[in-house]
Chains A and B, each alone.
Chain A
Amino acid sequence: MLRFVVRRLLLLVPILLGLSILVFLWIRLLPGSPAQALLGERATPQLIKQIRHEYHLDRPLYEQYWGYLTTIAHGDFGVSISSRRSVAWEFGQRFPATVELALAAMIFAIALGIPLGFLAAKRYGGWFDQVSLVGSLLGISIPIFFLGLVLKWIFAVKLGWLPSIGREDVLATRPHPTNLYVLDAIIRGDGGALWDAIKHLILPAVALGSIPLAIVARITRAAVLDVQNDDYVRTARAKGLAPRIVDTRHVLRNALLPVSTIIGLQTGLLLSGAILTETVFDWPGIGTWLEAAIFNRDYPVIQGGLLFVAVVFVLVNLLVDVSYAVINPRIRVS
């Protein structure tokens, strides 16, 4: 087990190095020169020269890359052009909001997707199965920002049941030690704040969770169908175990293995989907942060943000791989 983890960790090194090269080269892709991009309208030959010198842009490319690598290794990801704050600090402020949203979306997708997929497989070929198949196909065909807009229109604008933007009541002034508002409210034992945070979470989480929901339901259905007729399941049924016990202990437990991998693969989708969802619901996370950075041409933020998100994605996948090996001994051996 330890060997497996160490090997996976070593595989991480070239990926992270490759990522740093990609993100480093990204700023060289900018139209004109990076110095010009940083200065924007204010660019004069004099200033450009100064900036080029200041950022070592007049050095050879490999030297520049080495410089970039050493600064990020020291945890220095530059300073936002528009807010003049450290990119790493801003990321730290914004990230919990996205984590909270992504977790809520995932919980929604799993809590609904697994039972739906299981029931569909149990009623294979029946109307429930057909409806859920069509539903999951629709689920992956609806752009999340459109679903977000529709949800907002129905539940916020028409019915007025749920708030349409933000993470909490605009007038609320509550302390947020962890920046995960649901957790903060629980820590303080503040029921009102908890309800407020959850109310704001529901619509964005449903919008963001729609695609994972469809995929989880589909994979669960396929996996249950696959497992259902295996020998050990038949044996379990033949020896007279209660159907409920066979379903949970034999069928579902084995069917959930492929489902767990799929859930891990969804994090990338959640992270990129978060940009669109956060834009629709004005959610102050990584997505709206990057979106604003793109419009302000705040290149250090975009560069740092892309790197952070990619690293998070890579780490989550590593975590999924390792936990998968823990659940499924067959992976460890090979």
Chain B
Amino acid sequence: MSLAEIEAYVEEELAPQGGLWRDAWRRLRRNPGALVGFGLVGLFVFIAIFAPVISPYDPRAQNLLLVAHGCCQGPTWAHPLGADQLGRDELSRIFYGARFSLVIGVVSVSVGLSIGLVLGSIAGYLGGVADTVIMRTMDVMLSIPGLLLAIGIVAALGPGLWQIMIAVGTTNVPIFARLLRGSILSQKENDFVLAARSVGVPRRSILVSHILPNAISPVIVQGTLALATAIIDVAGLGFLGLGPQDPGTPEWGTMLTQVDRYLQSAPFLAIVPGVAIVISVLGFNLIGDGLREALDPKLRGRA
């Protein structure tokens, strides 16, 4: 064996086994940051699902006895995270708030992702006029800073949960459309596409079963990071008072609107929902970063 042959042999031996996804998963498991991320998101999802079971109180139940001696009661054994200005248990509100953040985040990213996916695929695969019209529209949408676009939409639709989901989802559309279009354009020239076309596979199934699966990995990374941004943006809209109009709704951002005047007496009312937001956002960011590294083809095959 020549040296070159040995090198080729070694490369082959070290080459990843079992495809991109298994390889990515293997690398993701060795990334301590991503593991912490999975832990945080797992905790977040667990709390969101089991909120009714693990919450010690009804998140909307007011116990005015707790505010009889001024606002607000700090942490005690009965209320581990204290109680808010209306005597509602802060811990239960945080637990239920996880539901809102998770659902709003997932729904808005899914809305943005699916619309962006369709638009991006059409633009990237068809090209021509469709491409120009779609992408110029996306450019215009991107020329308004994200959160501001969301605020504009909520200002038009009126405050509320659904409106926030639509608004944050809309801001995600151009991001995903652009990403997928670029990804498809780079896949389109590949030999396997030419092969599929030459054996007569219809255009739509080339797109769906050959191009999309290969173009999807940057979308997954972006989707995870978009969840983090969506949770922050949703909380921001809630903080501005554009969230659910029922003030009893335990949404984390909305919980932060009222606390300004209690900063002196009850700073925990600001810190508790804020930390909850940071933990969930951090979780998604860690997973997103880990996925980006794991799915990076340049790093494939390495530990």
Residues of A participating in the B interface, judged by any CB pair closer than 8 Å: 14-15, 18-19, 21-22, 26-27, 29-31, 137-138, 140-146, 149-150, 152-153, 157, 268-269, 271-273, 275-276, 279-280, 290-291, 294-295, 302, 306, 309-310, 313-314
Q: How far is the CB of A94 from chain B (nearest CB, A)?
A: 15
Q: State whether B285 touches A141 (Cβ < 8 A).
A: yes
- 7 A-B pairs with least C-beta separation: A18-B140, A268-B145, A146-B274, A272-B147, A272-B145, A141-B282, A29-B156
> Mostly helix, strand, loop or mixed at chain A's interface?
helix
- What mask results when residues 24 to 38 of chain B are scored 1 for a CB within 8 Å of chain A, else 0? 000000000100000
How many angstroms between the C-alpha atoms of A302 and B144 in the bound complex?
13
Measured between beta carbons, the chain A residues less than 8 angstroms from B146 are 268, 272
- What mask results when residues 268 to 289 of chain B are scored 1 for a CB within 8 Å of chain A, else 0? 0011011001100110011001
Q: State whether A275 touches B148 (Cβ < 8 A).
A: yes
Q: How far is the CB of A164 from chain B (nearest CB, A)?
A: 8
Task: Give how many B residues have a beta carbon under 8 Å from the other chain's beta carbons.
Answer: 46
How many angstroms between the C-alpha atoms of A136 and B282 in the bound complex?
11
Q: State whether A306 touches B263 (Cβ < 8 A).
A: no
CB within 8 Å of A: which B148-197 residues: 148, 151-158
Measured between beta carbons, the chain B residues less than 8 angstroms from A313 are 143-145
Q: List 6 A-B contacts (CB under 8 A).
A: A143-B232, A269-B145, A275-B147, A291-B240, A294-B151, A313-B145
How many angstroms between the C-alpha atoms of A14 and B267 in the bound complex?
49
Measured between beta carbons, the chain A residues less than 8 angstroms from B274 are 142-143, 146, 149-150
B137: CB under 8 A from chain A?
Answer: yes
- Contact flag A276-B236 (CB < 8 Å), given A138-B282, A149-B256, A149-B260: yes
Which of B144, B232, B239, B259 gathers the greatest number of chain A CB atoms within 10 Å? B144
Q: State whether A150 touches B271 (Cβ < 8 A).
A: yes
How many angstroms between the C-alpha atoms of A19 and B286 in the bound complex?
35
Q: State whether B137 touches A18 (Cβ < 8 A).
A: yes
B235: CB under 8 A from chain A?
Answer: yes
Measured between beta carbons, the chain B residues less than 8 angstroms from A141 are 228, 232, 278, 281-282, 285
Q: State whether B139 touches A15 (Cβ < 8 A).
A: yes
How many angstroms between the C-alpha atoms of A146 and B289 in the bound complex?
23
Q: How far is the CB of A144 from chain B (nearest CB, A)?
A: 8
How many angstroms between the C-alpha atoms of A229 and B118 in the bound complex?
42
Which of B136, B236, B277 gathers the greatest number of chain A CB atoms within 10 Å? B236
How many angstroms between the C-alpha atoms of A22 and B140 in the bound complex?
8
Q: State whether B141 touches A153 (Cβ < 8 A).
A: no
How many angstroms between the C-alpha atoms of A33 and B136 in the bound complex?
28
Measured between beta carbons, the chain B residues less than 8 angstroms from A143 are 232, 235-236, 239, 253, 274, 277-278, 281
Given contacts A146-B270, A268-B145, 12 further A-B contacts (CB under 8 A): A15-B139, A19-B143, A31-B157, A31-B158, A143-B253, A143-B274, A145-B239, A149-B263, A290-B151, A294-B154, A309-B144, A310-B144
Which of A27, A138, A144, A276 gathers the greatest number of chain B CB atoms within 10 Å? A276
B242: CB under 8 A from chain A?
Answer: yes
Q: State whether B277 touches A146 (Cβ < 8 A).
A: yes
B241: CB under 8 A from chain A?
Answer: yes
Q: State whether A272 touches B270 (Cβ < 8 A).
A: no
B2: CB under 8 A from chain A?
Answer: no
Q: How far is the CB of A104 from chain B (nearest CB, A)?
A: 18
How many angstroms between the C-alpha atoms of A282 and B178 in the bound complex?
37
B264: CB under 8 A from chain A?
Answer: yes
Q: How far is the CB of B270 from chain A (nearest CB, A)?
A: 5
Q: State whether A310 touches B143 (Cβ < 8 A).
A: yes
Measured between beta carbons, the chain B residues less than 8 angstroms from A294 are 151, 154-155, 240, 242
- Contact flag A26-B152 (CB < 8 Å), given A137-B289, A145-B239, A291-B240: yes
Measured between beta carbons, the chain A residues less than 8 angstroms from B235 are 143, 145-146
- Contact flag A26-B156 (CB < 8 Å), given A275-B151, A276-B239: yes
Q: How far is the CB of A158 from chain B (nearest CB, A)?
A: 8
